[in-house]
Structure 1
Amino acid sequence: MKALIFELRLVLHSRLALGAVALLLVLSALSVWSGLQASSAQRDALARVAASHQAEVRALAGKHANAADAGQVAYDTPHLTTNPPSPLAFAAFGQRDVQPFALRVRLLGLHSQLYESEAINPELAMAGRFDFAFLLVYLAPLFVIALMHDLVTGERESGRLRLLASLPAQAAVLWRRRFALRYALLWLALLLPLAAGVAVAGAGVAALGQLGLVVSLYLLFWFGLAAWVAGRAGTSAGSAAILLACLVGLSMVAPTALDAAIARGVPVSKGVELALAQRQEVHQGWDLPKPVTFEKFFRTHPEWQDTPPVTGRFHWKWYYAMHQAGDQAVAPQVAQYRASLLAREDWTARAGLLLAPVNVQVLMHRLAATDLRAQLAYQERIAGFHTQLRRFFYPYFFHERSFGKADFARMPTYAAAGAQGDLPAAPLGALALLALAAALLGLRQLKKLG
């Protein structure tokens, strides 16, 4: 214990080490605070949108109070869907900065409403967000480098390394103790603010344990790599340069190259193209004979084919059948689009099995339910709600019922489901293997110095 306290005093007497630990603690707290503020801002925005939406629906209910035309009501009435942030969203904001977390849908074609919202300002998306995941992946390794780059070379340059080498048993223990002490200091600097953020967000102890496991393994990977380089480098400057090159290569160059390769190998059309294709189908429907439109509609809705045909110029059931037929026409393109997005996500996860920085981002975003899969799950919930709306309104159209104030109260409402993250076993196992391998190599290299 005395030896550990002595080593701690040595570390804290170093201005570089003390400053690095203190700065990491401050940045960690700032990243957690920034994430909590962003999550709170989205929840406040959802509350304002919900209040405004309810006022609009009440006004429409008053306007269509008595024996209204159901088709006109369905056309005028928007329905709010929301995707509130998960308790852990503050730690890794992911797709929530660039994808809608609230969407109002009507009974019109679904795909044109889902995908026209994907147009975003690339300048706003480019900056990203300073959340805990960003700090962990890109900045935490810099602090590892600051504490570890001169672990061995500092002793060599001061002339103490030969003395340590003459005491092999004590030297091996000393290197392990210094390794563990520096690891513990940075681990605490990262985990203490994160634990406070989890408590404020109400995410629970289990969520903190999962996040802590990811943080611990990633930090261990960089400490192992830094120990291996420190044990082989000739000078402190050379050790720092090698580690910085590793950081740039593993967290920037390799992921960028892989992303470009995945984008080339798995092309994905833009969502707005699906919206335009659906609208084009609807526009063409105005020029088609009504029986042709209904024939397309009855393929998936045979329960309505025995209702009276439309003989006039316009009928709401023909109008909404035309929109549904437009959705059905682009359904194969939508399925291919979603499959391509998921294929890219899968290839990114596979790349993360070998690249720890990519792997950590995959794990953090999955835990926080802010990845692509969470966004697609939100779209699936919207599609399910849109189906509920159609089942509710179709009897009014096809049986020509009037729509009164009581029917407004019976309209389906979207139930916002709290996003639930998970910790996939394969990426976690790969990260654990990389971390343990790096740590073993690093400690073995340090042991050779004894």
Structure 2
Amino acid sequence: MTAVIREIWFLSRDRAALVWLLIAVIAAGCSVTFGLGEIASQRATIERLETADQAEQTYMAQAHRDWGSAGYYTFHLTYDPPSDFAFAALGQRDASPWKHRIRMLALEGQIYETDAANPDFALTGRFDYAFVVAILSPLFLILLLHDLKARERAAGRFELLEASGSGLWRVRAGLRVGTLGMALVLPLLMAGIISGSRAGPLLFGSAAVLIHLLFWWGVIAWINQRGWTATVNLTTLFGAWLVLAVLAPAGIKLAVDTAITVPDGGDIILTQREAVNDAWDLPVSATMEPFLERHPDWADYATIEGAFEWKWYYAFQQVGDQTAEDLSLAYRAGRDRRDRVSSILSWLTPPAKLERVFQSLANTDVEATREYEDRVRAFHADLRAYYYPNLFMDLPFTDETLSERPGYSATPQTE
């Protein structure tokens, strides 16, 4: 106990260490503050869009009194609400869409559109809490521990301290690691309480931070045992950080993206829209035959007599999706395979693994994005199942029938 108190006193007089600990607290505090603000902004956007969507649908229901026009002009808001822990790792919410306004038109031309405000963050990394603990915390720890023994050697006190027992170094280093851990974890816990996050993600995330620091403590201790000068230690550790935190993750991403090819979302949109545009100039049979292969139930109602009929229009919207289907399936399969391989390879670089852990806890990873996309696809399928009988059987347009139109249900993400 006396040794601990003595080391606390020494640490309190080490101005450089106190400065780095203060910077760590500020960085962690700023990151969770920014995250809380971003999530609050997204929730406010969703609330505002929900209100506008309800008003617009009410107006459209009065303005368009036939099934074809109602399906064409009515937008339906879909969105992926952020979890209460999303403030810690915004993840894919910067790179992938988390809200859409869907119409009863071809879906492939809508689902890959995005209005993400900061797509460049997908490359550089957003300054969120996951970034601070995965990328910056090793630097703080290196600066706190790199000269732990070298400084005493330079001052001529190393042999004397060694004679007092090797446990002194563990106490001194452990105190700095623990203090840095508190500086990083406390802002996370405070932000979690503010956001109403459940205990599970907070405790698991805190444990992940501490394990990450222990890993880097091991790396630093191994370097410190070489007996090198503080400058050599610092240079070597910076090199290790550069490899593990920057070069290795970038190399893994480049290798995975090169090895696993994925169609571009823009190509899927273009393919679908070209199919829809071409349908205007093709014989009706070129649309109805492939449509009825998927929807044989409407074969008895598929006769097109006029120059334009809404059921023909929505049929070639469906065929547009069918034309782009192979590309879309390849895109989804390739994206999922990239994510699986990246998850395995991330074990080679702890900073990348830690970021993936936080994104999983926050429901902002690739899997969460895929689940949102699946909900949008399921909702669009419900819309088609609702509109097709009314269109093909030419049923009367009534408010009672319109009230049965399906609505989007956003399954809240739980931690």
Specify if TM > 0.5: yes
Matching of residue 221 in structure 1 with residue 221 in structure 2: no
Matching of residue 156 in structure 1 with residue 150 in structure 2: no
Q: TM-score, normalised by structure 1?
A: 0.88
Q: Is the 8 A contact 1:77 1:106 kept in 2?
A: yes
- Deviation track 1:329-373 (CA, whole Å, cap 9, x = no partner) reads 211111111111112212211221111111111111111111222
Matches of 1:258 and 1:297, distance apart in 2: 43
Q: Is the 8 A contact 2:84 2:196 kept in 1?
A: yes
What is the 5 A alignment of 1:19-418? 19-64=19-64, 68-117=65-114, 122=119, 128-167=125-164, 171-307=165-301, 309-418=303-412
Give unpaired runs (5+ residues) of structure 2: none
Match in the other structure for 1:6: 6
- Number of residues of Structure 1 aligned to a counterpart in Structure 2: 415
Identify if the C-alpha distance between structure 1 residues 233 and 262 changes in structure 2 by more than 3 Å, giving closer, same or farther: farther
The 10-residue stretch of structure 1 (191-200 or 301-310) with the greater mean CA deviation from structure 2: 301-310
Amino acid at match of 2:212: Y
Give unpaired runs (5+ residues) of structure 1: 422-450
Matches of 2:102 and 2:265, distance apart in 1: 16
Q: TM-score, normalised by structure 2?
A: 0.96
Matches of 2:118 and 2:143, distance apart in 1: 37
Matches of 1:362 and 1:128, distance apart in 2: 12
Matches of 1:418 and 1:248, distance apart in 2: 38
Matches of 1:84 and 1:69, distance apart in 2: 33
Matches of 1:186 and 1:121, distance apart in 2: 31
Matches of 1:98 and 1:354, distance apart in 2: 24
Matches of 2:250 and 2:122, distance apart in 1: 16
Once the 2 structures are TM-superposed, how far is the Cα of residue 121 of structure 1 from its aligned partner? 6.6
Q: Is the 8 A contact 1:144 1:222 kept in 2?
A: yes
Amino acid at match of 1:55: A
Identify if the C-alpha distance between structure 1 residues 120 and 2 changes in structure 2 by more than 3 Å, giving closer, same or farther: closer
Matches of 1:382 and 1:19, distance apart in 2: 49
Matches of 1:115 and 1:278, distance apart in 2: 11
- Deviation track 1:52-88 (CA, whole Å, cap 9, x = no partner) reads 2222112112223xxx211111111111101111111
Once the 2 structures are TM-superposed, how far is the Cα of residue 92 of structure 1 from its aligned partner? 0.5
Once the 2 structures are TM-superposed, how far is the Cα of residue 103 of structure 1 from its aligned partner? 0.5
Identify if the C-alpha distance between structure 1 residues 165 and 124 changes in structure 2 by more than 3 Å, giving closer, same or farther: closer
Once the 2 structures are TM-superposed, how far is the Cα of residue 307 of structure 1 from its aligned partner? 2.2
Q: Is the 8 A contact 1:110 1:386 kept in 2?
A: yes
Instruction: Determine helix, strand or coil for the equivalent of 1:90.
Output: helix
Instruction: Determine helix, strand or coil for the equivalent of 2:410.
Output: coil
Identify if the C-alpha distance between structure 1 residues 220 and 256 changes in structure 2 by more than 3 Å, giving closer, same or farther: same
Amino acid at match of 2:61: A
Matches of 1:132 and 1:265, distance apart in 2: 31
Amino acid at match of 1:30: C
Instruction: Determine helix, strand or coil for the equivalent of 1:197.
Output: helix
Once the 2 structures are TM-superposed, how far is the Cα of residue 118 of structure 1 from its aligned partner? 7.0
Once the 2 structures are TM-superposed, how far is the Cα of residue 127 of structure 1 from its aligned partner? 5.5
Instruction: Determine helix, strand or coil for the equivalent of 1:232.
Output: coil
Q: Is the 8 A contact 1:118 1:271 kept in 2?
A: no
Identify if the C-alpha distance between structure 1 residues 88 and 121 changes in structure 2 by more than 3 Å, giving closer, same or farther: closer
Instruction: Determine helix, strand or coil for the equivalent of 1:342.
Output: helix
Matches of 1:229 and 1:390, distance apart in 2: 63
**Once superposed, what is the RMSD of the aligned Cα atoms?**
1.7
- Deviation track 1:188-227 (CA, whole Å, cap 9, x = no partner) reads 0011110011111111111111111211111111111111
Once the 2 structures are TM-superposed, how far is the Cα of residue 165 of structure 1 from its aligned partner? 3.0
Identify if the C-alpha distance between structure 1 residues 21 and 311 changes in structure 2 by more than 3 Å, giving closer, same or farther: same
Q: Is the 8 A contact 2:97 2:116 kept in 1?
A: no
Amino acid at match of 2:304: V
Identity %: 37
Matches of 1:284 and 1:223, distance apart in 2: 63
Q: Is the 8 A contact 2:78 2:99 kept in 1?
A: yes
Matches of 1:198 and 1:391, distance apart in 2: 42
Matches of 1:233 and 1:369, distance apart in 2: 45
Amino acid at match of 1:87: D
Instruction: Determine helix, strand or coil for the equivalent of 1:165.
Output: helix
Q: Is the 8 A contact 1:266 1:340 kept in 2?
A: yes
Matches of 2:179 and 2:319, distance apart in 1: 62
Identify if the C-alpha distance between structure 1 residues 192 and 124 changes in structure 2 by more than 3 Å, giving closer, same or farther: closer
Instruction: Determine helix, strand or coil for the equivalent of 2:142.
Output: helix
Amino acid at match of 2:404: R
Instruction: Determine helix, strand or coil for the equivalent of 2:208.
Output: helix
The 10-residue stretch of structure 1 (31-40 or 279-288) with the greater mean CA deviation from structure 2: 279-288
